[in-house]
Amino acid sequence: MYKRQAIYTKTADGLTITCSEVYANSQAIYVTMQFKSDKPFPETETGAESGTPVIDLDMTGGVDFNSEASPVIDGQVEGKFLDDNTYACIFRYDLAEAAKDYTEYNEKYNEMTQQVLDEMGITLDALDDETDEGYALLEEYINKVSERGGAYQKYIKDIEIPDTFNLHLDITKVRGLEADYEWSEADEEKYGTDAGYYKYEGDWNFDIPVTVDDSQTEVLELNDTNEAGIGLRSVIRTPYELTVNELYEDGSDSDCFMVALDANGNKLPYNDSAGNCNNFTIQDRDISTVDIYILDYTQYMDELKGPDNYNNNENKPEGQKWSDLLDPVSYTHLTLPTNSRV
């Protein structure tokens, strides 16, 4: 595994940010970051699921081989405090997403949504009508677009990722959620989305050389769908994560949600920085087998999700495991042997 070790440091607002170790494969770039404050960090809330301090970054950036990629970056990070003045984390940049060309997809998708509006005999303004009739039109519109939208993924084109390139990061704000903060409407009116957060503001920008190493990346091409036209295109495994790419045929319903279970039947956590439900973190998990489920989005949110289902399935009796709940309602279910414990 190739890791570039160099040190890039910037200071603003009493906070020094250092980017050091960099590892990249064709799916993501991982940058080790350290935040050193002149004064001790305030007491910081920890996430209910992650158990790590709630810290996030306001940032933009991109790669120099695709100037058309969205500059917006999800700044959620997971790390720990090394001492009262020092926080360390690993930042993940979604390289696979940055290496996609959406030009033709956007054109075709916009044509399709306009066609749906024409078929319904309405304009976009009608979808903003906050009446029972307006809500019914909106639901009909969403259902029609979902039935057709998945097939348009074929118009998203992959851009070849060079072996070496530069990653640019521009951090403008570092926020931490104050411990034991109690939300109030007055705070939200006064501070907006910063309510409850302490923050550092400045300009920490970095240009970081990246070398891609795919020596430990495994790709399983599937390209298989069920009778409903819903299935899996591929599964990609790296030392840190598992990415499952869906496949939708023309006319299939793309309003879906994905769940993956490890060999113990417990939910693999989503990679928060990926911002979608098809990328899973796999460290410290037994993934000798992985069960992948594609489910109806609404049914999952309303009936299936819940922390009581996610964990401890290896100790639950048959018939009460989470897989027993998912099996009868999934659009498609695939068990993959990965022959690995990460």
pLDDT at res. 3: 57
The reply to whether 196 and 271 lie within a common domain is no
Full-model pTM: 0.82
The reply to whether 23 and 112 lie within a common domain is no
- 40 phi and psi angles, rounded to 5 deg: -55, 140
The reply to whether 249 and 191 lie within a common domain is no
Most confident option among 201-210, 261-270, 284-293: 201-210
Domain boundary among 176, 211, 246: 211
The reply to whether 51 and 120 lie within a common domain is no
The answer as to whether 233 is a domain residue is: yes
The reply to whether 206 and 73 lie within a common domain is yes
The answer as to whether 83 is a domain residue is: yes
Q: How confident is the model at residue 50 (pLDDT cuts 50, 70, 90)?
A: confident
281 versus 83: the higher-pLDDT residue is 83
pLDDT at res. 51: 81
Q: How many CB atoms lie within 10 A of CB 261?
A: 24
The reply to whether 232 and 286 lie within a common domain is yes
pLDDT at res. 6: 58
The reply to whether 191 and 53 lie within a common domain is yes
Q: What is the pLDDT of residues 213-271, one digit of tens each?
A: 999 999 999 988 888 888 888 999 988 899 999 888 877 777 889 999 999 999 998 88
Question: Using CA atoms, how far apart are residues 210 and 177, in angstroms rounded to an integer?
Answer: 31
The reply to whether 52 and 182 lie within a common domain is yes
Domain coverage including residue 264? 218-337
pLDDT at res. 308: 85
The answer as to whether 56 is a domain residue is: yes
The reply to whether 182 and 286 lie within a common domain is no
The reply to whether 238 and 291 lie within a common domain is yes
Q: What is the CATH number of the domain that holds 180?
A: 2.60.40
The reply to whether 39 and 182 lie within a common domain is yes
Q: What is the mean pLDDT of the chain?
A: 90
The answer as to whether 182 is a domain residue is: yes
Range in 63-67, 273-277, 307-311 the model is least confident about: 273-277
Q: How confident is the model at residue 4 (pLDDT cuts 50, 70, 90)?
A: low
Q: How many CB atoms lie within 10 A of CB 308?
A: 7
The reply to whether 94 and 104 lie within a common domain is no
How does 93-130 read in b/e, with b if 16+ C-beta sit within 10 Å?
Answer: bbbbbbbbeeeebeeebeebbeebbeeeebeeeebeee
Number of domain units in the chain: 3
Reply yes or no on whether the pLDDT at 272 is more than 80.
Answer: no
Q: What is the pLDDT of residues 324-342, one digit of tens each?
A: 999 999 988 989 875 543 3
